[in-house]
Each structure stands twice: as structure tokens, then as C-alpha cells.
Structure 1
Amino acid sequence: MDWRDIPSLSALKAFEATARLGSFSAAARELNVTHAAIAQHVRGLEAEFGAELAFREGTGMALTEAGRALSLSLGEGFGTIASGVRDIGALRQNQPLKVALTATFAENWLMPRIGAFWAEHPDIEVALQPSNAVVDMRRDGFDLAIRYGHGDWAGLEAELLVHANYVVVACPELAAKTNDTTMLGLCSLPWVFEAGRMEQRVWAEEVGLDLSCTTSIDLPTNSLVLSATRGGAGLSIQTRAMVEGDLQRGTLVCLQEAPVSTLGYYLATRPVPRSQALKTFIRWLKSAAA
């Protein structure tokens, strides 16, 4: 297609609306422009084609033979475009919401709650994709990412879902073995860490835990760390949001807690219009967090 052979699309829209509605004024109202702008577009097309397209008849506009032919072609062409746009919109609405999040957040915060969402909104399909990798939301087609941090990711809009400051937790039986709950006093107890994640270790050393004289076990995922902690294998450092349920049930007890900061789990979205399904899911997440 050579776009140089096609007149201004704004002018073609103005003429199509005039032909369909029968007047410059009606076309102007539909396209939210002035009567004069519609008339100028139509007369510009006539000058470009070298043929009259429309003429005044009574209080409206009538079409010449050339105008009727152009109107028919534009109606078919714009109709095809409108149909394609509607199809793409319907495809997006019918696709499941694609949500990126960590496996730990999915297992310990979201999954115990999401049954309520499914019960309330059985028509909205949510595709959860747990991973510790930081995804490219635009490239990978994610509607939402639930990320841990301070909420300052370039190119994304972020809203705090839950605060998630570090806490040191243990099962009640292991916690009962010490009266000294300072980090220095907790050095004598065994610890469990997730292999490859250094954030908790750095924080622990900053607040007084001497890892060089502490017995510790490394496990491949935080889910295993939590299971081992619940079973009494050692103390672990968790974000409070991940163990809130355990603390309420008494399966874990908190021995140390970091001061509240901007650290938390954030709802990260791209700066594009949100589908109704995404708005509904985000609204439910905020309600569940509250």
C-alpha cells in the first residue's frame, strides 16, 4: 500500500460521517469538531479528486455519483477496521490475567486468600506465573507483577499492597530454648537460609548476627526454608507478610522485627489503560490486604 495515494484520514472520516448522517452539522457533532472543519475537509477532498462529492439539498447534504461511490468504499473499509479493533479488544478481554509473582508470595500470602476471589468472580481467569526472575512486563505480556522492594521501578506504576519488613521467626519449641532474643543471643541457635539470596544475610549481620559462628543450613527455595522453620530445623528471616498467618496461628513466633520502612510487596503495572478484569483483581487484592 502506498499511503501517498490516500488522502488525509481525518478528511475521509469527515466525509464518511457526512455521507452517513446527511449533514455537516451531524458529522461535526459525532466527530466532536466544528461545522466549518467538516466542510473544509469535504471541500478539500473535492479539490484533491477534482470532482464534486456532496451538495446542499434543503437543510442537509446530498451525494453526487462520485460521492456515493466513495461513501460505499469508506463504509466498507472503516467497517472492516472497526470489526478488527473490536475483535482485538474482545481477545484481550477474554484472555486470562497474567500475573508475575514470587513462589513464596504465591504460596504463603495469595493462595490462602484467592479462593474468595474465585468464588466472587468465577468469570475472571487469573494465570499466576511464580518465579524469582524479574520479568519484562511489556515483552512477556504480563498484566500485573507483585514485586518486593521499595516500589521504584522505572517505567512502571507501583502501589503498595502490604508492608513486608524482615522478622526473625522460629517454631515455639525452638524459640523456648533461649531467653536472649537479641541477634547476638540468637547466634547459638541453628539458622535456615535460602541459597543464593543475600539480602537476609546482609540485614542479619547489620543488626548483630555473627554468621561466622552460627550453624546454618542452605535450602534451594524459601518455601523449603519456611517448611524447615515450622518443623524446628532453625530460625529464619522472612518478610512479615509471608508469615503473618503463621504468627496468628502460633506455628511460628517472632523473635526480632525490623522497623517499618517503605519495603513491601507492590502491585506493579504498565502505564497503559487497565482492563476491567485487572481493575477488579487489583481492587480485590487491596481489600484482601486491608
Structure 2
Amino acid sequence: MNWTNIPSLSALRAFEAAARLQNLSAAARELNVTHAAIAQHVRTLEHAFSESLLIRQGRGVAPTPAGQQLAARLKSGFEIIADAVQDLHDNTADRPLNITVTPGFATSWLMPRIGEFWAQHPQVQLNITPSTALIDLRRDGFDLAVRYGEGVWPKLTSELLTAAQYWAVAHPDLVAGRTVRSLHDLSDLPWLLDVHQLERHRIIEAEGLDLSTLQVTQLNTNDLALSAATAGLGVTVQPRPLVERDINTGQLVKLLALREGGLGYHMVTVPGRTPPALKIFMRWLREKAASW
């Protein structure tokens, strides 16, 4: 489509409203602009077309024959646009929400609770994709990401869901009979760390422990570190949300609460894109995080 010869849509909307309502003030109220703005838009169109489009009639205005023809076409065109926008809104409202979360958050925090959400909101369909990959919410069609970090993602909106509370944990058999007052009391045990989670390394070192002196097994994912810990193969440091369930079931024991590193799980969204179903889901996440 060649837009070169098409006047501004604002001017066309102003003229269509004035011709339909036959009153400049009424058109101004409908479009939430001033009377002068409507008049200026009409004059701009008349200059562009070298044609009179409205004439005064009593206290209002009336379209000329040329104005009637243009107004009828514009009314039809704007109705098509409005229908297309409404159809898209309807499709968006009906489609499932696409959510991406880290695998650890999905397994240890979200999935044990999601049944409650489904029971409370059966009308909201969710597609949940566990992933640690770098996701482009716009390109990949995701409505929400739950990601771990400091909360700064360029051109996206993030909201802290739950702050990072780090716990040192291990299988009960590994630490049976052991008194643990600091990480130094665990320095003779094997350690399990995700090679990519460098902030965990900093937190351990902030507790005064030198990692180079420990027996550390570096694993490619945090899920592997957790699995190895529940199998009794070593001590690991994890955010509280990821290990609370295993502690409650007795598969792990909490040894120490460590100092927070300014990190946490955040809800990440595209600015201005919050369909009603997403608002419902985010409100539920907040409630669950607050009560946890």
C-alpha cells in the first residue's frame, strides 16, 4: 500500500466524526480533543483535496457531496479496523498463556502449587515451558518469564516475585551426627555446584570458605546438582524455593541459611502487554509467594 497520498489518520478520524455527528464540538468530545483541533484537521483535509468537505448548517455542520462520499468510505474502513482489533483481542483472550520458567523453579516451586491455580481459575489455560535458554518474549511469543537474577532485563518489565534466600543443604545421611555452625564445619565433605551459577560461588566465599580448598564437583545444570545432593553425594547451596519441598519430605536437610546476594526470582513481561488472564496468573503468583 502506498501511503504517500493518504492524509494523516488523525485528520481522517476527526473529519469522519464531525461528518457523522454533524457537530465539531461533539466530534471533539468523542475523540477527546479540542474543538479547534477538529476544525484544523478538517481544514487540512480540505486543503489537501482542494475540496470543501463540510459546510455550516444552523449550529452544526453538514457534509458536502464530496464530504458525504469520503465520510461513508471512512466509516466503513474504520469499522473494518475496529472489527479486526476486536477479533485480535478476542483471540488473545481465548488463547492459552505461554509461560517460561527455569526448570528448577518449575519442579520445586511452581508444579507443587499449580493444581491450586487450575482449581481456582479453570478458565485460564497455561502452556508452561521449562527452559534456561535466553528467551526473547516478543519474538518467541511468551507472555511471562520467571527468571533468576538481579531483575534487570533491557526493554522488559520485571517484578520481584521472591527474594533469594540461600540454604546449604545435604542428604540427612551425609551429615548425620554432625554439628554445623558455619560452612567451615562442612569443609571436609564433597560439594556440588552448578558450573554456571557463579553467584553461588561468591556467596560461599563470602562466608569465608575458599572453594579452591574444597572437594567440588562442577555439574552442567542445577538440576543435576540437586539430584546429586538428594542422592547423598555432597553439600550444595540452593535458593530456598528450590529445596523447601525436599526438606519437607526429608530428602534434604537445611544446614545453614546464608546471606542473601541481592538476587531473586522475577516475573518478566513485555511492557504494556498484560492480557486479563496474565493479570490473574501474576496475581496468584504474588499471593503464593507472599504466603510462602
Question: Scaled by the length of structure 2, what TM-score is found?
Answer: 0.87
Q: CA deviation at 1:276?
A: 1.4
Counterpart of 2:130?
Answer: 130
Residue 259 of structure 1 aligns with an amino acid whose one-letter code is R
Tell me what 2:158 maps to. Answer: 158
Query: Structure 2 vs 1, CA of residues 211 and 83 (structure 1 numbering), >3 Å: closer, same or farther?
Result: same
Deviation at 1:140, TM superposition (A): 2.3
1:106 and 1:130 in contact (8 A); partners too? yes
Measured after TM superposition, the shift of residue 181 of structure 1 is 4.5
Q: What is the letter of the counterpart of residue 267 of structure 1?
A: M
Taking a change above 3 Å as real, the CA distance of residues 10 and 153 of structure 1, as seen in their structure-2 partners, is closer
Judge conservation of contact 1:54–1:62 (CA < 8 Å) in 2: yes
2:90 corresponding residue in structure 1: 90
1:147-189 per-residue CA deviation (whole Å, 9 max, x = no partner) reads: 1122233322222111223211122232214234432321222
- In structure 2, what is the equivalent of residue 232 of structure 1? 232
Question: Which amino acid is the alignment partner of residue 35 of structure 2?
Answer: H
- Offset at 1:201? 3.9
Aligned residues: 290
Do the aligned residues in 2 keep the contact of 1:163 with 1:241 (CA within 8 Å)?
A: no
Please say if residues 229 and 236 of structure 2, whose CA atoms lie closer than 8 Å, have aligned partners that are also in contact.
yes
Opposite residue 288 of structure 2, the aligned amino acid is A
The code of the aligned residue for 1:169 comes to V
1:282 corresponds to: 282
Letter aligned with residue 46 of structure 2: E
Secondary structure of the residue that 1:129 maps to in structure 2? strand
Residues 186 and 209 of structure 1 are in contact (CA less than 8 Å); yes or no, is this contact kept in structure 2? no
Match of 1:13 in 2: 13
Question: Does structure 2 retain, via aligned residues, the 8 Å contact 1:150–1:262?
Answer: yes
Tell me: CA distance 1:78–1:181, structure 2 relative to 1, closer, same or farther (3 Å): same
Q: Secondary structure at the match of 2:110?
A: helix
Q: Distance in 2 between matches of 1:204 and 1:37?
A: 64
Instruction: Percent identity, please.
Output: 49
Q: Which amino acid aligns with 1:263?
A: L
**Once structures 1 and 2 are overlaid, which stretch shifts more, 173-182 or 69-78?**
173-182
Q: 1:46 to 1:180 in 2, by over 3 A?
A: closer
CA deviations on 1:216-257 (whole Å, 9 max, x unpaired) are 555554334323323323222211121123334443221122
Partner of 1:49 in structure 2? 49
After TM superposition, list the pairs within 5 Å mapping 1:21-170 onto structure 2.
21-170=21-170
Gap regions ≥5 residues in structure 1: none
Shift of 1:112: 0.5
Structure 1 position 14, deviation (Å): 1.4
For 1:135 and 1:119, the matched residues in 2 are separated by: 29
CA contact (8 A) 2:199 2:261 kept: no
Shift of 1:93: 2.5
- The question of whether the paired residues in 2 share the 8 Å contact of 1:187 and 1:210 is answered with no
| Letter of the 1:247 counterpart | I
Write the distance in 2 (CA, Å) between the matches of 1:245 and 1:76: 59
1:261-272 aligned at under 5 Å gives the runs 261-272=261-272
Q: d(CA) in 1 for partners of 2:207 and 2:182?
A: 9
Structure 1 residues 23-71: Cα deviation after superposition (integer angstroms, max 9, x where no partner): 2221111011222332332233233323332223334332222121111
Q: Distance in 1 between matches of 2:220 and 2:47?
A: 73
For the structure 1 residues 59 and 211, does the alpha-carbon distance in structure 2 shift closer, same or farther, using more than 3 Å as the test? closer
Any conservation in 2 of the 1:103–1:130 contact (CA below 8 Å)?
Answer: yes
Which secondary structure does the structure 1 equivalent of 2:183 belong to?
Answer: coil
Task: Give the RMSD, CA atoms, in angstroms.
Answer: 2.4
Task: Tell me the alpha carbon deviations over residues 182-219 of structure 1, each in whole angstroms, 9 at most, x when there is no partner.
Answer: 32321222333345544434533453445556445555
Decide which moves more: 39-48 or 195-204: 195-204
Question: TM-score under structure 1 normalisation?
Answer: 0.88
Q: Is the 8 A contact 2:166 2:260 kept in 1?
A: no
Q: Tell me how far 1:100 sits from its aligned partner.
A: 2.1
Give the Cα separation in 1 of the matches to 2:229 and 2:256. 15
